[in-house]
């Protein structure tokens, strides 16, 4: 009888603790710890902490992937800290691509604002691929942690906005993880079944060594 009462009390206690503060605006001048940023003192919080204007301008797509992602995560937008939400802007030039990547910390929802985007993800259980060409107004969800991609599927630049179920969803791009590091080429070759020339070419393109 005591154990169920204790569990109920613990649940109620943790719930009330979570609701003690209305928000936890990140103190970006403080340390970035494994559990995130500490909260700003309430007296130092202003309305500007809850407003972010960085998604109004297009990002620079003059790069190897012809794409730009402008984030509004806790590191840029202190007001979302602790709320489990964030946003980003995606600009894709003609021929632009966001290569296969994953967000280990959150799920993603994408809405196309203009242009056409081919987007998809791969399930972890059966490696089943789900992809579709999206047009203006279409929305697609990408479950947390699954490999996914976006490609400009049209002849004009494409714009999309994405939301995440985390204020810091994280990002790992598969191509860069494999070829933009100092892992010896022979190990990459054994784990990817690519030959030496292919691995060294990709390392050269993406800035890897070894």
| Averaged pLDDT, 131-141 | 98
Task: List, in order of start, the domains of the chain with CATH numbers.
Answer: 47-168 (2.60.120.10), 177-206 (no CATH)
Cα 95 from Cα 125, distance rounded (Å): 31
Chain segment 1-47, per-residue pLDDT in tens: 554 443 343 444 333 333 478 999 999 999 988 888 999 999 999 99
- Mean of pLDDT over the chain: 91
pLDDT at 34: 84
Contact 107, 78 (CB under 8 A): no
Whole-prediction pTM value? 0.86
Query: How much helix, strand and coil, in percent to the nearest 5, is found in the chain?
Result: 25, 30, 45
Chain segment 42-64, per-residue pLDDT in tens: 999 999 999 999 999 999 999 99
Q: Which residue has the higher pLDDT, 72 or 21?
A: 72
pLDDT class of 156 with cuts at 50, 70, 90: very high
Binding residues, as ranges, are 101, 103, 108, 148
Binding residues for oxalate, as ranges, are 103, 108
CA nearest 132: which of 143, 116, 145? 116
The percent of residues above 70 in pLDDT, for the chain, comes to: 90
Binding residues for Mn(2+), as ranges, are 101, 103, 108, 148
Cα 135 from Cα 156, distance rounded (Å): 12
């Amino acid at each position: 009888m005591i154990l169920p009462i204790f569990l109920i009390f613990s649940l109620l206690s943790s719930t009330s603790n979570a609701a003690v503060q209305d928000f936890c605006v990140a103190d970006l001048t403080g340390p970035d710890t494994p559990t995130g940023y500490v909260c700003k003192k309430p007296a130092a919080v202003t309305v500007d902490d809850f407003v972010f204007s960085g998604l109004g301008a297009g990002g620079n797509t003059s790069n190897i992937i012809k794409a730009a992602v402008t984030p509004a995560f806790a590191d840029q937008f202190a007001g979302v800290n602790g709320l489990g939400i964030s946003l980003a802007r995606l600009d894709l030039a003609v021929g632009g691509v966001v290569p296969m990547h994953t967000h280990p910390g959150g799920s993603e929802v994408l809405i196309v604002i203009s242009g056409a985007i081919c987007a998809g993800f791969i399930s972890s259980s059966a490696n089943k691929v789900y992809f579709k060409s999206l047009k203006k107004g279409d929305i697609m969800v990408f479950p947390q942690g699954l490999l996914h991609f976006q490609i400009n599927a049209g002849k004009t630049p494409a714009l999309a906005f994405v939301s995440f179920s985390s204020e810091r969803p994280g990002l790992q791009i598969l191509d860069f993880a494999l070829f933009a590091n100092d892992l010896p080429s022979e190990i990459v070759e054994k784990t990817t079944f690519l030959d030496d020339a292919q691995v060294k070419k990709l390392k050269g393109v993406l800035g890897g060594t070894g």
